Amino acid sequence: MRFHTSVNDTSPACLPQHDDDTQSRVDEVAAKQEGFVYGPSLIGQAAAFPNGTLGNARAQSDMDLWNVDREEIDSAVAKDVEIIQKAIAANGGLKSLDDYINVLYGGEWENSNPLEEAPGIMTNYTQDLLFSMERLSQNSYPLQLVKPSYRLPFQVPDGLTENIAGVTLETLHASGSLFVVDQPQRYGAACTAYFYIHPESKDFMPLAIKTNAGNDLIYTPLDTPTDWLLAKMIFNVNDMFHSQMFHLVATHDVSEAVHQAALRTLSEKHPIMIILERLMTRGYSSRIVGEQLCFNPGGHWDQLFYINNIGCRQFVTDNWPTHGAFQSGYLQADLRARGLIDEKDEFKFKTFPFFQDALRIKTIFREFFTAFVDSYYASEDEFSADFELQNWFAEATGDAQVHDFSSSPSKETLVDVLTHFGFIVSVVHHGLNGGDPVGSKATLPFHLNALYAPLPTDKGVTDLLPFLPPPDNAVHYIGFLATFNRPFYRTSNRTLEYAFSDDALLQRLNDGTRSASATFMKSMQDLSAEVRARGFDENGLSLGMPFVYRTLDPGYIPYFSAV
């Protein structure tokens, strides 16, 4: 039996109960079960990694595909690094915060990041509104409402909240207008931060940042501009760690676990297997790359980030049962649990850019998968007769150990599962990782990867330069981030718009799926056009933010977890 046959197979998809060659199909699935074996997890203890003759071959094949892209992006990064190093040398180093913008960037990363930095992200980084609205766009996953029934995570010194928000901390809490990001303390100097909805302007703003380390200082916007900016930078160190490790668990681990269950139960002729294989393009390369280049001892994380590879692996192990929960990770279910939207999908914020774009994409996915499922299963009886599908669900909740996977398969449940699978490998992954960090959420000097000076023991800092990475580290950091970008996917039909628009794929699927594919592509193209048309209004804001949010552009992000 050939491994990964769906890539080259041209036979029409069919359900097992309609397959004329039943025995060959049974033999094929049996051979897959023997050849795809659950092996030890990579990067912490989470999802198993495929071993066995077929599992090893699949992983190597995915790595071979990944290496082709790696050579292209590494070449682009090398060209940019050479230019930037010359610019820094000509400037005599990086001698001010402005140098980190004008010299370190200056539009010179054009080979590896041709879109350049998101408008406003470099020029408006000192604005509190930018900092707070990044919680509703760049990384909303750790943000949650401090519910009125919950205890306050910490107290702000007397009088400060009234001077900042015009009301007391208790009033914000009781009115459901107080939010918190609480980073786990075991992973370093992890901040707890309050954000709030201003009672008059209704702007979403930062209130206080508690460092939870050293002298455990509490910073607010009433501190000196330098102290307050440093506090936000300290927070961003924690936020960068969280976003990257959360994405590893919630996208790579989850998608691999679900897909491995399918590999062992679904024939390569099953329409669902064909779709999953499309969405799992080179999917098993990512954790290998992580082990070899990112989280290896002395690797990029040890060199560049505050938390070393050991802390990263521990985060994965500790959070696999929660961040890896499948149904709890559904977009609306997750946001409702954290108090960010209500049962009607409405929110208290003026805008919620991540949710608004993510919901559009999820809805487009759901419409496609509803049509897809209906086209293959005319009834629930037809669905129940698909024993391969029933085995997939059982395998996912059993040996694959997918947390919180549905144990009650139905047509609607299948649509939910497929929608979320497509959502995590595209929206969740590229909303946090991929090409966005180098041009947005990880841009220096504001979004620090680590502090290069000890935490201050008292307030009154006057110079932020000692806390920033020196030139060599800064260039290394940006170059590392740029290697996750895939700008050349725009011209090779590998963006989200093209998720199901592939001739070889559609040749095997039915007319209903082909029609749904065309609708999917048109809807994604329409959203992409909207994202690309975004700019600033008369108040210098875009979607209520002082920077342009373009992270989830379906015409740029891949339809699979590319890195």
Can you give the length of the chain in residues? 563
The 3-state DSSP class for residue 52 equals: helix
Q: Check: CB of residue 219 under 8 Å from CB of residue 192.
A: no
The residue whose two tokens read 């690094």 is 81
Q: Check: CB of residue 203 under 8 Å from CB of residue 129.
A: yes
Dist. CA 58–CA 337, nearest whole Å: 37
Residues with Cβ within 8 Å of 531's Cβ and at least 6 positions away in sequence, in order, are: 357, 550, 552, 553, 554, 555
| pLDDT at res. 190 | 84
Q: Is 40 exposed, middle or buried (0-12, 13-18, 19+ CB in 10 A)?
A: exposed
| pLDDT at res. 6 | 47
Dist. CA 65–CA 486, nearest whole Å: 13
| pLDDT at res. 8 | 61
Given phi > 0 = left and psi -120 to 50 = alpha, else beta, which region is 209?
Answer: beta
* pLDDT values of the chain reduced to their tens digit, one per residue, 563 residues: 444 544 567 889 999 999 999 999 999 999 999 999 999 999 999 999 999 999 999 999 999 999 999 999 999 999 999 999 999 999 999 999 999 999 999 878 999 999 999 999 999 999 999 999 999 999 999 999 999 999 999 999 999 999 999 999 999 999 999 999 997 654 446 899 999 999 999 999 999 999 998 899 999 999 999 999 999 999 999 999 999 999 999 999 999 999 999 999 999 999 999 999 999 999 999 999 999 999 999 999 999 998 999 999 999 999 999 999 999 999 999 999 999 999 999 999 999 999 999 999 999 999 999 999 999 999 999 999 999 999 999 999 999 999 999 999 999 999 999 999 999 999 999 999 999 999 999 999 999 999 999 999 999 999 999 999 999 999 999 999 999 999 999 999 999 999 999 999 999 999 999 999 999 999 999 999 999 999 999 999 999 999 999 999 999 999 999 99
Residue 9, CA distances (Å) to 38, 214, 307 in order: 25, 60, 44
Q: Check: CB of residue 450 under 8 Å from CB of residue 456.
A: no
Q: Check: CB of residue 524 under 8 Å from CB of residue 496.
A: yes
Provide the greatest CA pair distance for the chain: 78
- pTM recorded for the entire structure: 0.96
Work out the angle at residue 433's Cα, subtended by the Cα atoms of residues 105 and 465, and round it to the nearest 5 degrees: 40
